[in-house]
């Protein structure tokens, strides 16, 4: 079930937030910000204090959902949203032959969220022996979309071609 | 023939011995004498005889007899010696001939035995060679069959595994050559093809 804000608006998950680890990282950052603001409220007026720098992920989350994290209500919404994501967001595991680039993951995440689920989270693994393609694992199933699988699936065609070629050579 | 010669020689020696005995008996009878008539005539005759055949005469006769006997003995001994030499020579020749014949016969037997053994050995070797050749032929046939079976098995196994070998080779050869960015559409098309199953599994899992 997609998390929504109290007004019924579906909150948007930035494409840079890809894995559950990113969600946890955002939650911790949000908690740090919350702590900082709570501490600043009880400090003496006029004392100097250094604002914590926010990460790009947090900025993207704020920008995507028009949050102002100085407002308590927006922080609460974001925290609830992240908690909801941790608990309910669908997670798929995708293994690639090599380590994917950030740009590749952004494109893939965008397409998967548009196709499968808007809050889909992705964990990435490495499986060098598949050569190309990927292996996608959902909670209960595995989808082998690798080149290895494709080649194995076409073994009969390959054998038929080889036999035909052998027949031509023999003739 | 030699046995006859030996018998003749022995007969000669025996006859000489008999003659010698007869001569001694004669001489003894001459020495002893015998009374012919009684009376004077006898005694006169005896006296004359004793006068004529006195001891000297008898001694002379003995000497003559002894000389004659020695001569006969010498001659016979010479003959006997010649015969013995001849016999010895003939015996030697005979022994040589017999021994040579015997040796030749034994050598012939020995040679025949060797030839038989040789023939047996040749027969045995021939049989062994034939058996070895048969065994070799059998082994060769069996080996050819096994090689053919093994060849068929390898070909069949190769045919069965050809695809896997080529797949493995392709994966090894191009695994590092394909950029992940170039695979995006391929991956997305695969996901799109399994979209329904993925969505259903996510829904059932969450």
Query: Please, what's the largest Cα pairwise distance for chain A?
Result: 97
One domain for residues A82 and A113: no
My answer on whether A68 and A137 are in the same domain is: no
Residues of chain B contacting A, Cβ within 8 Å: 159, 162-164, 166-167, 170-171, 174-176, 178, 180-181, 183-184, 186-188, 190-192, 194-195, 197-199, 201-202, 204-206
From A43, A72, A88, give the residue that closes a domain: A88
* Same domain flag for A54 and A33: yes
Bridge partners of residue A40, in order along the sequence? none
Residues A8 and A52 in one domain: yes
Do A25 and A103 fall within a single domain? no
Which candidate from B163, B183, B198 shows the least CB-CB separation from A155? B163
User: 3-class SS at B161?
Assistant: helix
Q: pTM score > 0.80 for this model? A: no
Distances (CA, A) of B153 to B139, B145, B147, B158, B160: 20, 12, 10, 8, 10
Give residue A12's domain range.
1-88
pLDDT tens-digit readout, A128-151: 877 788 899 988 888 888 887 887
Of B170, B183, B197, the CB nearest to A151: B170
For the residues A93-112, what does the mean pLDDT come to? Answer: 88
Tell me, what DSSP letter sits at residue A4?
A: B
Summary mean pLDDT of chain B: 84
In A, which residues are within 8 Å of B190 by CB distance? 133-134, 143, 145
The tally of domains found in chain A comes to 2
The 3-class secondary structure across B178-192, one letter per residue, is: CCHHHHHHHHHHHHH
Q: Pull the structure tokens for residue B57.
A: 């005469």
Q: What is the pLDDT of residues A8-39, one digit of tens each?
A: 567 888 888 888 998 999 899 888 888 888 88
Q: Is the same domain home to A84 and A123?
A: no
Residue that terminates a domain, selected from A54, A88, A122: A88
Cross-chain residue pair A136–B184, CB shorter than 8 Å:
no
Predicted-complex ipTM score? 0.75
Closest alpha carbon to A152 in B204, B161, B173, B133: B161
Same-domain check for residues A108 and A133: yes
Size of interface A-B (CB pairs under 8 A): 112
Adjacent-strand bridge partners of A125: A95
- Both A62 and A118 in one domain: the answer is no
What is each CA distance from B180 to A15, A105, B8, B195, in whole angstroms? 19, 10, 137, 21
In terms of domains, do A38 and A84 share one?
A: yes
* Same structural domain, A13 and A82: yes
For residues B56 and B121, the model is more confident at B121
- Could you tell me if A4 and A78 lie in one domain? yes
Note whether A102 and A75 are same-domain residues: no
Chosen domain end from A32, A56, A88 = A88
């Amino acid at each position: 079930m997609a998390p929504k804000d109290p007004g019924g608006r579906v909150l948007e998950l930035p494409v840079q937030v890809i894995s559950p680890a990113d969600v946890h990282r955002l939650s911790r950052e949000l908690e740090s910000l919350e702590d900082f603001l709570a501490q600043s409220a009880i400090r003496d007026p006029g004392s100097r204090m250094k604002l914590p720098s926010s990460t790009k992920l947090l900025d993207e989350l704020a920008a995507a959902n028009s949050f102002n994290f100085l407002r308590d209500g927006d922080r609460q919404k974001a925290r609830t949203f992240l908690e909801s994501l941790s608990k309910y967001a669908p997670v798929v595991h995708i293994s690639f032959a090599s380590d994917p680039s950030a740009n590749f993951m952004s494109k893939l995440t965008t397409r998967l969220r548009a196709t499968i689920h808007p809050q889909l989270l992705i964990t990435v693994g490495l499986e060098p022996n598949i050569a190309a393609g990927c292996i996608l694992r959902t909670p209960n199933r595995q989808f082998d979309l690798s080149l290895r699988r494709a080649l194995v699936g076409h073994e009969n065609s390959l054998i038929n071609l080889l036999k035909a070629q052998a027949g031509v050579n023999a003739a | 023939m030699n046995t006859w010669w030996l018998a003749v020689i022995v007969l000669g020696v025996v006859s000489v011995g008999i003659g010698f005995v007869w001569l001694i008996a004669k001489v003894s009878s001459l020495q002893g004498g015998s009374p012919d008539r009684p009376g004077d005539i006898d005694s006169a005759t005896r006296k004359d005889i004793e006068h004529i055949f006195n001891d000297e005469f008898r001694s002379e006769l003995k000497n003559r007899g002894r000389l004659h006997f020695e001569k006969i003995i010498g001659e016979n001994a010479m003959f006997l010696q010649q015969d013995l030499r001849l016999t010895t020579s003939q015996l030697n020749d005979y022994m040589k001939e017999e021994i040579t014949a015997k040796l030749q016969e034994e050598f012939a037997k020995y040679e025949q035995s060797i030839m038989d053994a040789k023939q047996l050995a040749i027969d045995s070797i021939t049989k062994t060679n034939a058996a070895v050749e048969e065994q070799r032929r059998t082994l060769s046939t069996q080996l050819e069959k096994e090689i053919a079976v093994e060849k068929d098995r390898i070909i069949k196994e190769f045919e069965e595994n050809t695809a896997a070998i080529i797949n493995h080779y392709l994966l090894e050869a191009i695994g590092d050559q394909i950029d992940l960015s170039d695979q995006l559409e391929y991956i997305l098309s695969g996901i799109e093809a399994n979209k329904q199953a993925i969505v259903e599994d996510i829904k059932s899992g969450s």
